Amino acid sequence: MKKAWWKIALAMVGLMTWAAANAGAAGVPAGFRAVGTDVDPASGLPKLIEHEKTGYRLCLVPAGEFLLGSKEGEGHFTEHPQRRIYLDAYWIGETEVTCAQYAEFLNEKGNRKKGAIKCCNVGGPAVKIVESNGRFNPRAGYEAHPVVEVSWYGARAFARWLGGDLLTEAQWEKAAKGGQEAPWPWGDVWDKNKANTAERLAGVDEFNSFEMFWEWYGPYRENTLDKGDYSDTTVAVKGYPPNGYGLYDMAGNAWEWCLDRFSIEHYERLKDGQRNPPPVKRYGTSYTFSVDGSHWSARDRVIRGGGWNDPSKRARCTHRHLGAQEQFGSFRLGTLGRLLDSATRFAFRKKYLRHYGVGNGLRVVVRPQS
């Protein structure tokens, strides 16, 4: 009798061990697998999952509250008012999507168009993917670099092909902060050795003003980018330490498309304690002016994180920027643009902006399966 009870007890222990090891697997979507045995104690979801086909890995951001936006007196006016937001758990790409991973997508789906817009500006000097005999391949040595000059349509097409989607602004910002409330993914103090930004290219500790940045960027553009040299722009993913959630390059390297349309009033419309705010689907107030027949408008999609040719201030976790979903890369004058007369804006754009904003890439979000 005792022997029978021991067998039953051992069987129960075995069943409980199996259940604990597979608790997270129940929430992992089809096409993904759990990596390792580390799980979130609150949800039982695995902390790391992997796309079975491409090997693209995603880290868990646990459910809970965080502060969206900047404190009063800090950051840009579009980052106010600060709101306390609750988000359910989700997985986010451990890294930005690489050239090798995006080339695999192009080879299966093609560089298809949304109207006249292709997924990726293959053939452009900044793009580290080449096409030959109908096949797409990363340039040698750039396989692990983030893909850039991806349109918003091309970014979302990849995310859906993988079985996920683009992140909402709230999801992106919570992930970037890595479980803390600080300006940069690693903490309160800027460190040029922890992100690939313009400071690396310029060899300075930090651009303390945008005037200082533009004084450097003009000659850099003329002497380097104008000559088609984009060899030293992006760097391989995982080149800098990860944040508290295990995510790399949440500051710098490549701008990352979000699902939302850009809206100046977005934070004003949110409420403290709001749960899982949906992405902005309608345009907000548009500040528009014409420069040589071109219209710069807020009616665009959100991009986050800053890029290889941006100063530290644009790599902050709370910084909001925008890009035209129909373009591969874009720069939109905000506060600065309103301070310049038409002739000055045109001269400014002609001198400085021709190669600015060629760094739009992406990262993928996957939600637990119920």
pLDDT in single tens digits along all 370 residues of the chain: 444 554 444 444 444 444 444 444 669 999 999 999 999 999 999 999 999 999 999 999 999 999 999 999 999 888 999 999 999 999 999 999 999 999 999 999 999 878 878 999 999 999 999 999 999 999 999 999 999 999 989 999 999 999 999 999 999 999 999 999 999 999 999 999 999 999 999 999 999 998 999 999 999 999 999 999 999 999 999 999 999 999 999 999 999 999 998 888 899 999 999 999 999 886 555 544 333 333 445 458 899 999 999 999 999 999 998 887 766 642 222 223 223 333 443 444 444 444 444 568 888 888 888 6
**Beta carbons of 235 and 196 less than 8 angstroms apart:** yes
Q: How far apart are CA 365 and CA 164, in angstroms?
A: 6
pTM given for the model? 0.84
| Residues in contact with 13: Cβ distance below 8 Å, sequence separation at least 6, in sequence order | none
**Beta carbons of 102 and 162 less than 8 angstroms apart:** no
Q: How far apart are CA 255 and CA 267, in angstroms?
A: 21
Bridge-based pairing of strands 294-296 and 321-323 is: unpaired
Domain boundaries, the chain: 42-370
Query: Quick one: pLDDT at residue 101?
Result: 95
Q: Which of 183, 213, 335, 184 is nearest to 264 (CA)?
A: 335
**Beta carbons of 126 and 358 less than 8 angstroms apart:** yes
Number of neighbours of residue 18 by Cβ within 10 angstroms: 10
Q: How far apart are CA 146 and CA 363, in angstroms?
A: 10
Which amino acid does the sequence have at 173?
E
Q: How many CA atoms lie within 13 A of 173 on its CB side?
A: 30
Q: How far apart are CA 99 and CA 105, in angstroms?
A: 10
Q: How many CA atoms lie within 13 A of 362 on its CB side?
A: 32
Class of 42-370 per CATH?
alpha beta
277 prior amide bond cis, ω within 30:
no
| Residues in contact with 277: Cβ distance below 8 Å, sequence separation at least 6, in sequence order | 85, 168, 170, 270
Bridge-based pairing of strands 129-132 and 32-34 is: unpaired
Which residue shows structure tokens 């396989």?
Answer: 143
